[in-house]
């Protein structure tokens, strides 16, 4: 039987929007020393807005956006949703994509109106043998950004820059987590290194790991376990393996992927990281009473 103190801890956590899947997870939450945190959709809102489009080929802006957004209808990625919204705002009529393959956290390939379209990050483009000039350029890159590359019929077509603001309480939550016993914080993202480093520079973060596919995120979690029990926080399908591998997986449930919530031991029912420090305190108190 689960001790009464743990049951009441679970219910107190639920009251602040933290769903903990059982007494074991509550006990683990009390012992966490390392936080591995995802970027897009977790530290940032993931509700990105398209701020600039750089056209690289012969296709015009509207046509590239229409093709990319048509394909990204097949993806649940936060930046993909933002791209589809932007296309709709511009009144573009989207087509049904065919032969769609999604690589979680990397992007999507498929056919739109008999054209072969690839939408995603730099890693996916490299593997497709597509060479994009280094994005960001001389103008530098905003810290809170996400860049989506678009290729059509085997040639680079556009670089889409999205603004993806940091959650207003993101930095202060990390500070509060450090104050309650989290000794080490690592940012683990599928996004580009320069974007990740610019974001991490303004935050109390010890290490930044970028350009990670889902397997590489899992390796980061495993490597961090030498510092103590690891809590991984993420929102996406691409975070699910790392959430399962961590001592404690925490998913953003409000707008995150269902696969992440399933793989996690803890689901945040509110669209915010803010209740995590209080949840740790609840877990510690419950464990102290139960022991
Ligand atoms: P994080 O790990 O920080 O949450 P992701 O790995 O989810 O970041 O995404 C990183 C980058 O991958 C995005 O900024 C974007 O360039 C690209 N990306 C991934 N999936 C898609 C998609 N479906 N459509 C467009 N871009 C994508
Ligand atoms: Mg994410």
How does pLDDT run across 196-237, given as a tens digit for each residue?
998 898 899 999 999 899 999 999 999 999 999 999 999 999
Average pLDDT estimate for 259-269? 97
- State residue 47's pLDDT score: 76
Average pLDDT estimate for 19-45? 95
How does pLDDT run across 43-87, given as a tens digit for each residue?
998 778 899 999 999 999 999 999 999 999 999 888 899 999 999
Same domain, 204 and 266: yes
> Of 145, 163, 181, which residue sits at a domain end?
163
Domain count, the chain: 2
Same domain, 119 and 194: no
- Told to judge if 38 belongs to the known catalytic residues of this protein, a careful annotator would answer yes
Residue of 107, 216, 219 best suited for mutating to test ligand 1, as the one with most atoms within 8 Å of CB = 107
* Residue 1 CB-density burial (10 A; 0-12 exposed, 13-18 middle, 19+ buried): exposed
Which ligand is nearest to the Cα of residue 192, counting in written order? 1
| 81 ligand 1 Cβ < 6 A | no
- State residue 102's pLDDT score: 94
Neighbours of 155 (CB within 10 A): 13
> Of 163, 179, 196, which residue sits at a domain end?
163
Same domain, 66 and 209: no
> Of 137, 163, 189, which residue sits at a domain end?
163
Residue of 191, 198, 199 best suited for mutating to test ligand 1, as the one with most atoms within 8 Å of CB = 191
Same domain, 137 and 187: no
Categorize the per-residue pLDDT at 3 as very low, low, confident or very high, splitting at 50, 70 and 90.
confident
- State residue 98's pLDDT score: 98
How does pLDDT run across 115-153, given as a tens digit for each residue?
999 999 888 999 999 988 765 543 445 556 788 999 999
| pTM for the structure as a whole | 0.88
* CATH number of the domain enclosing 18: 3.40.50.1000
Distance 286 CA to ligand 1 centre (A): 38
* Percentage, residues of the chain above pLDDT 70: 96
Same domain, 111 and 173: no
Distance 106 CA to ligand 1 centre (A): 5
| 121 ligand 1 Cβ < 6 A | yes
Same domain, 157 and 176: no
Tell me: pLDDT of 13 over 90: yes
SS3 content of the chain, % helix, strand, coil (to 5): 40, 25, 35
Same domain, 68 and 155: yes
Residues spanned by the domain of 184: 4-45+166-290
Q: Report the candidate in 80, 81, 100, 104 with the shortest Cα–Cα distance to residue 190.
A: 104
Same domain, 34 and 171: yes
Same domain, 184 and 280: yes
Same domain, 170 and 41: yes
Lowest mean pLDDT among 10-24, 38-52, 134-148, 239-253: 134-148
| 249 ligand 1 Cβ < 6 A | no
Same domain, 123 and 79: yes
| 231 ligand 1 Cβ < 6 A | no
Average pLDDT estimate for 84-111? 95
Same domain, 219 and 77: no
Distance 281 CA to ligand 1 centre (A): 33
Strands (E) across 199-283 are located at: 207-209, 230-234, 248-252, 266-268
């Amino acid at each position: 039987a689960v001790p009464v103190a743990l049951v009441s801890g679970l219910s107190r956590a639920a009251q602040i929007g933290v769903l903990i899947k059982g007494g074991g997870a509550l006990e683990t939450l009390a012992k966490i020393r390392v936080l591995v945190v995802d970027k897009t959709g977790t530290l940032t809102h993931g509700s990105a807005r398209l701020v600039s489009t750089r056209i690289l080929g012969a296709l015009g802006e509207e046509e590239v956006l229409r093709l990319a957004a048509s394909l990204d209808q097949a993806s649940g990625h936060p930046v993909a949703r933002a791209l589809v919204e932007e296309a709709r705002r511009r009144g573009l009529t989207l087509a049904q994509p065919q032969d769609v393959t999604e690589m979680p956290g990397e992007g999507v390939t498929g056919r739109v109106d008999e054209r072969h379209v690839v939408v995603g990050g730099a890693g996916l483009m490299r593997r497709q043998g597509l060479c994009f000039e280094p994005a960001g350029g001389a103008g530098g890159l905003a810290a809170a950004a996400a860049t989506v590359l678009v290729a059509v019929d085997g040639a680079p077509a556009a670089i889409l820059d999205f603004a993806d603001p940091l959650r207003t309480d993101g930095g202060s939550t990390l500070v509060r987590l450090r104050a309650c016993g989290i000794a080490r914080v690592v940012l683990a993202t599928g996004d580009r290194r320069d974007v990740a480093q610019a974001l991490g520079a303004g935050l109390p973060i010890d290490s930044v790991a970028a350009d990670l596919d889902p397997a590489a995120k899992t390796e980061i979690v495993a490597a961090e376990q030498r510092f103590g029990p690891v809590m991984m926080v993420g929102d996406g399908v691409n975070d699910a393996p790392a959430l399962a591998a961590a001592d404690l997986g925490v998913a953003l449930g409000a707008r995150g992927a269902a696969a992440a919530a399933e793989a996690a031991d803890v689901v945040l029912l509110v669209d915010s990281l803010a209740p995590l420090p209080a949840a740790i305190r609840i877990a510690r108190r419950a464990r102290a009473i139960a022991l």
